[in-house]
Amino acid sequence: MSTIPTVTLNNGAVIPQLGFGVWQVPDAEAAPAVGAAIEAGYRSIDTASVYENETGTGTAIAGSGVAREELFVTTKLWNSGTVDWSGRQGRDAVLRAFDDSLAKLRLDHVDLYLIHWPRPMHGTFGNVWKAFEELAADGRARSVGVSNFGPQQLEVLLQESAVVPVLNQVELHPYFPQLELRAFHDEHGIATEAWSPLGQGGALLGEPVLARIAEKHGRTPAQVVLRWHLQSGVIAIPKSVTPARIKENIDVAGFELDADDLTGIAGIGNGGRIGPDPQAFDWN
């Protein structure tokens, strides 16, 4: 079993630096996929309400035979149509959404609860983050953070609350390395977590420079990219439903990218975002 490094968050919690994501995994496939991931050695599992696979994820966790305290489970609040960001009903809506996620996961707490998307047009977080603070205070969410936030939203949140998000989960891969945002995170003690860390495969994993580095180390391009994340200090949550690839993605110990490798990977950064720009969306 591969040894996965860890990251200590700003509240002292420890998260594996390599986790397993279930975005776009149908609920019926989530249980076998998450089960295979846990069997392969993953101890961090990332899901979300909007993925509609918390039930399957919870089934896999319950049947894994792995002690709960050995697992780091993340889920996320989906705000569209659920949360009144005006502040009048935000708190209660968040708590209802959290209880629903917890029931589907068959857990009495999660290790991390995230605001899934910001709403930049509204400019404030009202009672939403206050509800997150409550969940953290009573231990039902051991840590709280955000996803897809830019520096502007983080600045607002930091001004509104003394509770700093433990991490920000954002699109990040060699095409889109998010250097400016990562610098902001470092300044404020916020960890960086990458969704789509492999750039959803395709063009990125076909890059000749990655093929050359992979051949040099006797690895695959995907393993090279995941190693790049780890050496960059980024938490990564690759997704797969294929058992062989699930095992391959966690097998990133035993080799180190050197300075030439890192320079080559830096050279393919092109600002190419794959997902939508969070600054341009109002999910209502």
Q: What is the pLDDT of residues 44-54, one digit of tens each?
A: 999 999 999 99
Kind and range of the H or E run holding 180: helix 179-188
Specify if 180 maps to a domain: yes
Q: For residue 200, what pLDDT band results from cuts at 50, 70 and 90?
A: confident
Higher-confidence position of 58 and 127: 58
Does residue 256 sit within a domain? no
> pLDDT band for position 135 (50/70/90)?
very high
pLDDT at residue 283, as a whole number: 62
- Rg of the chain over Cα atoms, rounded to whole angstroms, equals 18
Sheet of strand 72-77, all strands in order from the earlier edge strand to the far edge: 20-21, 44-46, 72-77, 112-115, 144-147, 167-171, 191-195, 235-236
pLDDT classification of 86: cutoffs 50, 70, 90: low
For residues 10-23, one letter each, b for 16 or more C-beta atoms within 10 angstroms of the residue's C-beta and e for the rest, the string is beebebbbbbbbbe
Residue 124 has pLDDT above 70, yes or no: no
Question: What's 20's domain CATH number?
Answer: 3.20.20.100
pLDDT confidence tier of residue 85, bands split at 50, 70 and 90:
low
pLDDT of residue 215: 98
Residue 69: φ, ψ to 5°: -70, -10
Domain assignment of residue 62, yes or no? yes
Q: Which of 200-209, 213-222, 232-241 has the lowest mean pLDDT?
A: 200-209
Task: Report yes or no on 63 lying in a domain.
Answer: yes
Structural domain containing residue 95: 9-198+234-241
For residue 154, what are the CA distances in angstroms to 75, 161, 189? 20, 11, 12
| H helix intervals, 67-106 | 90-105
User: Does residue 175 have an active-site annotation?
Assistant: no
Annotated catalytic residue: which of 42, 51, 113, 175? 51
Is 220 contained in some domain? no
114: enclosing H helix or E strand? strand 112-115
Average pLDDT of the residues of the chain: 91
Number of domain units in the chain: 1
CA distances from 47 to 22, 50, 110 (A): 6, 9, 11
Contact (Cβ atoms closer than 8 angstroms) between residue 103 and residue 139: no
How large is the average pLDDT for residues 23-40? 95
| Residue 20 placed within a domain | yes
Question: Is residue 114 one of the residues assigned to a domain?
Answer: yes
pTM: 0.94
